[in-house]
A and B are shown apart, each in its own frame.
Chain A
């Protein structure tokens, strides 16, 4: 395992240049969606009629700002691509001063384009998707809130600022998963996502606390200068805490169970938050903290292993589910697993983690929106066993979905081919076992995505009675087309290793390492593995009719996959059950011992005062006797003292 541990290719975020003319767009990029959210959520019914338009407009304007910013730094030298903007002192206590500042560098630049670009398309799509929902204005308010928080997360120049955005996206995610709160399942899913995310957040807050305790500051620039002097144990602890945070937000093992339930939310939410952007925040956090992870090969190895486990688990779940959104959710887990694996591989992998993150943002948003379009045409049915033969009824959705499909399985030329290939190549170079797992995962991806395609768009129609699938309106299909084009063309970013160079001020430059086999051979092998997966799926799901109800006599593997690999059962048995028993015991202790003690003391005093009260008998003469006796006693005491 020592191959993972090449210490010291660390790139500090040193003294980012002044923002100058970039200050205005930099502030606007966050302020616009935040303003939109404020107007839509505070304006109430007054904004019902034009709320969705305002929501789209703010994100579109934010996208324009992102493009302006991107163009500004595009031509600059690597050393000049980091721009900082200190807005005001957020708080200062003792020696600890937290600036409310923004850091715009190549990493944030790409995230900004992804969030506002894909986010804007999803906003437009939602106009059509949520057209018949009477709370559409509120939906757009929440979406804008999410975009603002996510931008805060990726633009903050300080771990505390990241924390602000981190909690903001968690809140937006909670509100949007439970958007249809009248459905008990949606309400429960929202709560589950929130609670499990809290576990990850504990990791983040402890990690940030430990960073502060160790370095006395939480700003990226300061911390990155100081990390070379810290002890390895502390760095590993920080790294593992940040990994816990990433596991919660990015649905990585063992905190993965909330993501599948989160599909209860409206489909645009699944596309934007639970596929393209928010769930990738964990990857962002790890890549952003490269100046910490570079000093702890143990934590890096943990990151890579967690990523590998999750990519296999997600793929497994994707194979067994019949709910189209849950298949896509399993696939999201799996693809994020790839990103986390790449991030765990260190300098060589960071750029490819981000590359895959962008590509995944394009093709997964495309497919989720495509799934939403399918549901829109089939009365919100999500069971793939009720689909079939939709390619003729929904030609645009079918074609755009196919682009996403080809991209995710890694068909040569499409997005996933470039990005996943690179990750597999780097993984094989650094650690053969992780690389082989990633390669196997690619094959499984081919299998489950082909299964999804065949069950949804091919074969005989198995539609429910009264369902007449129809193509979605233009406002929904145009975003699909744009995303489909991006799924095809995203790979251009890798031309001349552009993205690797562009990100080098953040991720560092990796020393060249020869992969065990030539890169071309590896690509061919990867494509062959995927082809095997596709072929197996084709044999199983295309040559036979798909039954309308899920078969019950299935293998252990399928049962496990359908039950999401018993993640919930595991949590119930290991955490929820003992936790409940502990709390019941605690309640008994509280009732019996603590309350008993307090109440016992109280009743003892009540009994005593009941006795004493009898002295108040109402007879003046007995009081007078008391007075006299008292005076006599005082006199006696004085005499005793004075004479004695």
Chain B
């Protein structure tokens, strides 16, 4: 079975995620797009693992999932806190940390 469709899918998912992070203002949506990029890379890792016939890529994918889970915990907590103080989940509103 050819690996190409999987890689193409992975690339498409990653691009959607990247464009979402760059264009959307809602923090939750941005967050989901980040997850999308992570999963796109997981797909690529698993695909290449299969192609090469060893488990390295799959182990890396598990690591990414663990990191993503931890990130969800911290990230959602931050988004919650920002929303509570500012009544807004727009990432453009949280722009005090600048020159």
Chain A residues within 8 Å of B22, by CB: 621, 624-625, 628
Verify A617–B99 contact, CB threshold 8 A: yes
Verify B18–A617 contact, CB threshold 8 A: no
- Please indicate which of the listed interface residues A614, A617, A620, A625 has the most CB atoms of chain B within 10 Å of its own CB: A620
Asked whether any CB of chain A lies closer than 8 Å to the CB of B52, the reply is no
What's the Cα separation between A443 and B92 when bound, in Å? 104
Chain B residues within 8 Å of A620, by CB: 30, 91-92, 94-95
Verify B91–A616 contact, CB threshold 8 A: no
| 8 Å CB interface, B51-76 against A | none
Nearest A residue (CB) for B21? A624
What's the Cα separation between A493 and B99 when bound, in Å? 91
Asked whether any CB of chain A lies closer than 8 Å to the CB of B87, the reply is no
Asked whether any CB of chain A lies closer than 8 Å to the CB of B1, the reply is no
Chain A residues within 8 Å of B94, by CB: 618, 620
Q: Size band of the B side of the interface?
A: 10 to 19
Chain A residues within 8 Å of B18, by CB: 628
Asked whether any CB of chain B lies closer than 8 Å to the CB of A553, the reply is no
Known: A625-B22, A628-B18. A618 touches B91 (CB 8 A): no
CB distance from B12 to the nearest CB of A (A): 16
Asked whether any CB of chain B lies closer than 8 Å to the CB of A543, the reply is no
Q: How many A-B residue pairs have CB under 8 A?
A: 33
Chain B residues within 8 Å of A182, by CB: none
Chain B residues within 8 Å of A613, by CB: 99
Asked whether any CB of chain B lies closer than 8 Å to the CB of A619, the reply is yes
CB distance from B93 to the nearest CB of A (A): 10
What's the Cα separation between A370 and B23 when bound, in Å? 104
| 8 Å CB interface, B26-66 against A | 30
| 8 Å CB interface, A612-644 against B | 613-614, 616-621, 624-625, 628
Verify B99–A616 contact, CB threshold 8 A: yes
Chain A residues within 8 Å of B21, by CB: 621, 624
Chain B residues within 8 Å of A618, by CB: 94-98
Chain B residues within 8 Å of A625, by CB: 22
Verify B98–A621 contact, CB threshold 8 A: no
CB distance from B99 to the nearest CB of A (A): 4
Known: A621-B22, A624-B22. A614 touches B95 (CB 8 A): no
Chain A residues within 8 Å of B30, by CB: 620-621
CB distance from A104 to the nearest CB of B (A): 79
What's the Cα separation between A204 and B21 when bound, in Å? 80
Chain A residues within 8 Å of B95, by CB: 617-620
Nearest B residue (CB) for A631? B18
Verify A621–B91 contact, CB threshold 8 A: yes
Contact with B along A78-96 (1 / 0, CB 8 A): 0000000000000000000
Known: A625-B22, A628-B18, A628-B22. A619 touches B99 (CB 8 A): no
What's the Cα separation between A613 and B99 when bound, in Å? 6
CB distance from B63 to the nearest CB of A (A): 19
CB distance from A623 to the nearest CB of B (A): 10
What's the Cα separation between A619 and B92 when bound, in Å? 6
Chain B residues within 8 Å of A624, by CB: 21-22
Chain B residues within 8 Å of A628, by CB: 18, 22
What's the Cα separation between A624 and B27 when bound, in Å? 13
What's the Cα separation between A98 and B94 when bound, in Å? 73
Chain B residues within 8 Å of A616, by CB: 97-99
What's the Cα separation between A619 and B25 when bound, in Å? 10
Verify B99–A621 contact, CB threshold 8 A: no
Chain B residues within 8 Å of A614, by CB: 99
What's the Cα separation between A471 and B95 when bound, in Å? 94
Chain B residues within 8 Å of A619, by CB: 91-92, 95
CB distance from B81 to the nearest CB of A (A): 15
CB distance from A466 to the nearest CB of B (A): 81
What's the Cα separation between A613 and B23 when bound, in Å? 24
CB distance from A89 to the nearest CB of B (A): 64
Nearest A residue (CB) for B97? A618
Contact with B along A104-148 (1 / 0, CB 8 A): 000000000000000000000000000000000000000000000
CB distance from A534 to the nearest CB of B (A): 93
Contact with B along A408-445 (1 / 0, CB 8 A): 00000000000000000000000000000000000000
CB distance from A626 to the nearest CB of B (A): 11
CB distance from B1 to the nearest CB of A (A): 27
CB distance from A614 to the nearest CB of B (A): 6
Chain A residues within 8 Å of B92, by CB: 619-621
What's the Cα separation between A621 and B21 when bound, in Å? 7
CB distance from A625 to the nearest CB of B (A): 6
Chain B residues within 8 Å of A617, by CB: 95, 98-99
What's the Cα separation between A620 and B18 when bound, in Å? 13
What's the Cα separation between A614 and B96 when bound, in Å? 13
CB distance from A621 to the nearest CB of B (A): 6
CB distance from A609 to the nearest CB of B (A): 10
CB distance from A620 to the nearest CB of B (A): 5
CB distance from A597 to the nearest CB of B (A): 29
Contact with A along B1-30 (1 / 0, CB 8 A): 000000000000000001001110100001
Chain A residues with CB under 8 Å of chain B are 613-614, 616-621, 624-625, 628
Instruction: Knowing that A614-B99, A620-B30, A620-B94 touch, tell me 7 more A-B residue pairs with CB under 8 angstroms.
Output: A618-B95, A618-B98, A619-B95, A620-B91, A620-B95, A621-B22, A621-B25
- Sample (10) of A-B pairs whose CB atoms are under 8 Å apart: A618-B94, A618-B95, A618-B97, A619-B95, A620-B91, A620-B92, A620-B95, A621-B92, A625-B22, A628-B18
Smallest CB-CB A-B distances: 10 pairs: A618-B98, A618-B95, A613-B99, A620-B91, A616-B99, A616-B98, A624-B21, A617-B98, A619-B95, A618-B97
